[in-house]
Amino acid sequence: MSASAIPVIVLGGTGYVAGELLRLIAGHPQLQLAGILSDSQPGAAVAASFGHLASAYPDAVFSSIEQIEALVASLPVSAIFSAAPHGASAALIDRLLTVAEAAGTQPRVVDISADFRYSTDAAYAAVYKHAHGAPARLPQFSCAVPEHLAQSPTPHVAHPGCFATAILLASVPLLKLGLVSPQLFVSGVTGSTGSGRKPTDGTHHPQRHSDMYSYNALAHRHTPEVTACALAASGVAADFNFVPHSGPFARGIHVTVQAQLLQPVSQAELLQAFAGFYAHSPFVHVAAQAPRIKDVAGSNYARLSVAANGRSIAVMSVIDNLNKGAAGGAMQWMNRLLGLPETSGLTAPAAGWT
């Protein structure tokens, strides 16, 4: 660990989001991996789970929770990313923050699970059907995409889900600028990595290849989260009607948001409005051309476009679900929490031909 580096701890070590976090940390100029938790594989080589990261972490091994606790207690300042599963992340974060408080250390946490995305334990339980793991910690977390909250009023942040990120980037300008009636219809397609590393009937490649299908239509768990975040960011209580789809690709999300304009506005005027809204957002690009997933896959960038016909508007939004929708957006927040440039470690362009 170099003297100027900020030590990083990753929780939930063997999943896709954790792997993406490790890839981004390896390229960050001021962050350096100090420990990665895996209760199931302590002592195992990180490269055994993430072969593509072997050159970056040739000697790194997964740590036990006891080793992670010792790190948190010994490091005056640290950055903790939690990619632990929903329902497990809150208790784990609470345990580590309790250790930090006893030791007088100051970690900053960005949670990528759903555990701190709601302001009350009742709101969380209504969606996830179980009690929150650390309700007393909820006031210590804010939830927003970085583009919609200039500075976190809390010491820690919860990053919205990947679908939520894409939907919010498209929807919040419509609501905050007063362009549309507050009833929005959303259709989204996500890659298979959004369902996690463990194969299921919906993510197993032979089932998903060359196919596309909807799931949880008008009942997806991200919908209440989107509604709450959109209200916080825009001040408008909107009605979101969301139909998600599984796509036959690994990385990326494509979302189309449709709504009714309050008055006719030309496409040129709408593009100008969106470009102005995101003028100071380095990772959001607005263009007349329809956005494509390959333009953002593997990067922290989002691309938006707008179409209008009379009183109807459609906003297209594409992001990489693992990066901008999870690990990259979380690092964007962590940069802010640590007082680093927001773009640090995140400016690599998309991979293109993924």
DSSP state of 351: -
Element (H, E) at 66: helix 65-74
Q: Could you give the residue numbers annotated as active site?
A: 162
The length of the chain is 354
| DSSP E strand stretches across the chain | 6-11, 31-36, 77-82, 106-111, 141-143, 156-158, 183-190, 213-214, 239-246, 253-260, 284-286, 302-309, 312-319
Please choose, from the candidates 259, 252, 282, the residue with its C-alpha nearest in 3D space to the C-alpha of residue 166. 252
**C-alpha of 42 from chain center:** 26
Per-residue DSSP letters for 168-202? Answer: HHHHHHHHHTT-B-SEEEEEEEE-GGGG-SS--TT
Please choose, from the candidates 152, 106, 156, the residue with its C-alpha nearest in 3D space to the C-alpha of residue 134. 156
Which residues partner with 304 through β-bridges? Answer: 286, 317
Whether the Cβ atoms of residue 182 and residue 236 lie closer than 8 Å to each other = yes
Whether the Cβ atoms of residue 78 and residue 72 lie closer than 8 Å to each other = yes
φ, ψ of residue 145 in degrees (nearest 5): -75, 150
Give the number of other CB atoms < 10 A from CB of residue 204. Answer: 12
Locate 82 and state its tokens: 């939690």
Give the number of other CB atoms < 10 A from CB of residue 306. Answer: 26
Q: In angstroms, rounded to a whole number, what is the distance separating the alpha carbons of residues 159 and 142? A: 8
Q: In angstroms, rounded to a whole number, what is the distance separating the alpha carbons of residues 354 and 352? A: 6
